[in-house]
Amino acid sequence: MASATTDRPSSSVRGLIAERGGDFSGYSFAFLDDMAKREIRRATLKAVAIPGHQVPFGSREMPIARGWGTGGLQLTLSLVGSEDRVKVIDQGDDASVNAVNLRRLVAQMTGAEETLDTAEATLIQTRHRIPEEVMRDDQILIFQVPIPEPLRFIERSVAVARGMHAEQDYSRMWLALYEDIVRRGEISAGAGYPVMVNSRFIMAPSPIPRWDIPKLNQADTLFLFGAGREKRIYAVPPHTDVRPLEFEDYAFKTEEFDGLACEVSGATDVYLVESPGENGTSRWTASDTNYADKVAAGIEVNKQW
Amino acid sequence: MVAEQTQVPEPSASSEPLLRVRDLTKIYESPGQRIVACEDVSFDVYPGEVLGIVGESGSGKSTVLQCLFQDVEATSGQAFLRSFEDGERSIFDADRRERRELRTHQMAMVYQNPRMGLNLMVTAGGNIAERLLAADWRRVDEIRDKASDYLSRTEVPVDRMDDFPAFFSGGMQQRVQIAKALANNPELVLLDELTTGLDVSVQAGVLDLVRDIQRIYGMTAVIVSHDLGVIRLLADRTLVMKDGHVVESGLTDQILEDPQHEYTQLLVNCVTN
Ligand SMILES: Nc1ncnc2c1ncn2[C@@H]1O[C@H](COP(=O)(O)OP(=O)(O)O)[C@@H](O)[C@H]1O
Ligand SMILES: [Mg+2]
């Protein structure tokens, strides 16, 4: 991206299209044509009906590259209406280039309002985080998923993995966790810790940190997961049991940031990320930028998921 | 009745066979070729008994075990396991999930080549853990206690538990495979040429081990070998197979002392002369 600064002044989708003499008028509402939206909604309904089960769908070509959130984007575009307020976060950050572009694209193709405020949003598309602020039953969280298959690391064949899900044949997954404990003294999976959904399917919660895993359990919000490259949609409906895989004597633990506080907001008990500070020091800030901004502004935020 | 003369640790259960095999047939068919690997094989196995199957290479012994463990699909015939649907439905009619249950809970197989029975990508303890995990064990300390128990039963040094069996000797691999087979107390253990791939120097040790395990824990097993010495040592009753057919069956001692079929006579004479 860095090389194109002089002859490509616009970083927004609208800017790029305008530059090339085009506009959005020839496109369907929300970019996808009606048949595509219907197909995605059907897959979504099926996913909601079978929590944690990966439903195949005909992933469309999108105006962004696969691997940059095309699965999440298709879910968002199939659901969004012009009355919605849309928020997009990339690792918790509303201001990353990718988040900004996705948010603008959705807004411009639908007339939906853009927002950074977690509480205000009706649809939130996310890469790798769940907001700290509790989401409600009138909101939907849409995850961008790179690898939807939690068994990928123990079984390369998609067909065999599907058979394992169908028969709830998960002993090899448990074996991998046992071996992990033998070798490393703990279950080492950090981001994307495998979970059991509704006591039936093992699911990859997209690579969210362990910190966010407990929020998936018995939430008020609908969670939708879209993997564009892998052409899979899955879901955790509201009030569904979602449990991290664990042994009775090696219990699941979230990340600890003992003693550290967010440098923007002073908040503790929040998922922190490290960035280089001045003079070789490190700077710890909440990865959820909207949460940090709200706390810094003295706004009270409910984070008891 | 043959069964009355065999060693039976639990007399109360002895009247009913643990496994009934009826007319088991496996035909390998490919264009221009039809191999009858085994045909109309029928037998019973009683609780606590070790049944031997002996015969020359290619006589269909391994095929019988592979059909029972459902590594291959029988062409026809039935097999009833006492614990599967009260022995009223053939295990060959099991669906995929039931078949997995049979293979991880009720039955176990020890292959001639340990690489077939072991997962070489996981530790020795992990190999045993796999069967316990399939049975919903969810405490690591209990799994490890049980794994070391099985490994010590099969005389694998417990301090090798967290090592990879890929680096073990053949004899040690075979011991781990036996430990794995015993994990989770399967009702029936199938053993295929368990010492054939091993150095002569370690064969006796493995055979003694299996015999001791059988004596102490009362394992019910079908053991296949081309070697009458193995059969003599381990089997209470024996089937003799030739060209896919059972040509003779009876108490092992009787078969060895007074073989009826001329093929058996040939086998026995080869060993004793
Ligand atoms: N997968 C197979 N395809 C074709 N023929 C086979 C296959 N497996 C075994 N056979 C044939 O079936 C017969 C019995 O083999 P097997 O059961 O391995 O005998 P044994 O264990 O007594 O040596 C042999 O003729 C063998 O060549
Ligand atoms: Mg054989």
pTM of the predicted model as reported, rounded to 2 decimal places: 0.87
| Strand, coil or helix: A292 | helix
How far apart are the C-alpha atoms of B120 and A179, rounded to whole Å? 12
Total number of domains constituting chain A: 2
Residue with structure tokens 């409910």?
A: A302
Average pLDDT, chain B: 91
Q: Up-side HSE of residue B166: CA atoms within 13 Å toward CB?
A: 6
Structural domain boundaries, residue A290:
257-298
Report the CATH number at residue A80. Answer: 3.40.50.11310
How far apart are the C-alpha atoms of A187 and A124, rounded to whole Å? 30
Tell me the shortest Cα–Cα distance from A187 to chain B, in angstroms.
12
Given a contact cutoff of 8 angstroms between Cβ atoms, the answer to whether B160 and B171 are in contact is no
Verify that A281 and A228 share a domain, yes or no.
Answer: no
* Ligand 1 nearest atom to the CA of residue B60, by list position: 17
If you average pLDDT over residues B32-48, what whole number do you get? Answer: 97
On whether residue A112 sits in a domain, the answer given is yes
Is the pLDDT score of B6 beyond 50?
no
Residues of A in contact with B98 (CB under 8 A): none
On whether residue A77 sits in a domain, the answer given is yes
Is the pLDDT score of A119 beyond 50?
yes
Determine the length of chain A: 305
On whether residue A212 sits in a domain, the answer given is no
What is the reported pLDDT for A12? Answer: 67
Given a contact cutoff of 8 angstroms between Cβ atoms, the answer to whether A192 and A206 are in contact is yes
Verify that A221 and A293 share a domain, yes or no.
Answer: no
**DSSP per position, A90-150:** ETTBTTSHHHHHHHHHHHHHH-PEE---TTT-SEEEEES---SSPP-TT-EEEEE-S---T
Verify that A120 and A70 share a domain, yes or no.
Answer: yes
Q: Up-side HSE of residue A55: CA atoms within 13 Å toward CB?
A: 23
ipTM of the complex model: 0.85
Verify that A46 and A115 share a domain, yes or no.
Answer: yes
Tell me the shortest Cα–Cα distance from B178 to chain A, in angstroms.
19
Ligand with the closest atom to the CA of B111: 2
On whether residue A90 sits in a domain, the answer given is yes
**Cα-based distances in Å from A268 to A303, B36, B168:** 12, 73, 51
Verify that A70 and A125 share a domain, yes or no.
Answer: yes
Is the pLDDT score of A234 beyond 90?
yes
| Strand, coil or helix: B258 | coil
How far apart are the C-alpha atoms of B27 and B72, rounded to whole Å? 11
How far apart are the C-alpha atoms of A269 and A257, rounded to whole Å? 8
Ligand with the closest atom to the CA of B54: 1
On whether residue A269 sits in a domain, the answer given is yes
On whether residue A186 sits in a domain, the answer given is no
Verify that A140 and A261 share a domain, yes or no.
Answer: no
Most confident among A76-90, A184-198, B204-218 (mean pLDDT): A76-90
Strand partners, A85: A113
Verify that A97 and A234 share a domain, yes or no.
Answer: yes
Residue with structure tokens 């790798």?
A: A128
In short, whether B62's Cβ falls inside 6 Å of ligand 1 is yes
Residue ranges in chain B assigned as alpha helix (H): 61-69, 96-101, 114-117, 124-134, 140-153, 170-182, 200-217, 228-234, 252-257, 262-272
For B128-142, the pLDDT digits (tens) are 999 999 999 999 999
On whether residue A221 sits in a domain, the answer given is yes
Calculate how far, in angstroms, residue B94's C-alpha sits from the geometric centre of ligand 2.
Answer: 25
How far apart are the C-alpha atoms of B43 and A83, rounded to whole Å? 74
Q: Which of B210, B111, B195, B198 is nearest to B155 (CA)?
A: B210
Ion ligand 2: residues, Cβ under 5 Å: B 62
How far apart are the C-alpha atoms of A256 and A270, rounded to whole Å? 9
Verify that A64 and A103 share a domain, yes or no.
Answer: yes
Verify that A110 and A233 share a domain, yes or no.
Answer: yes
Verify that A234 and A91 share a domain, yes or no.
Answer: yes
* Chain A contacts in chain B segment 115-134 (CB below 8 A): 119, 122-123, 125-126, 129-130, 133-134
For A251-268, the pLDDT digits (tens) are 999 999 988 999 999 999
On whether residue A16 sits in a domain, the answer given is no
Verify that A262 and A235 share a domain, yes or no.
Answer: no
Verify that A143 and A262 share a domain, yes or no.
Answer: no
In short, whether B53's Cβ falls inside 6 Å of ligand 1 is no
**Cα-based distances in Å from A193 to A205, A212, A244, B130:** 7, 10, 7, 21
For A146-197, the pLDDT digits (tens) are 999 999 999 999 999 999 999 999 999 999 999 999 999 989 888 889 999 9
Structure letter (DSSP) for residue B102: I
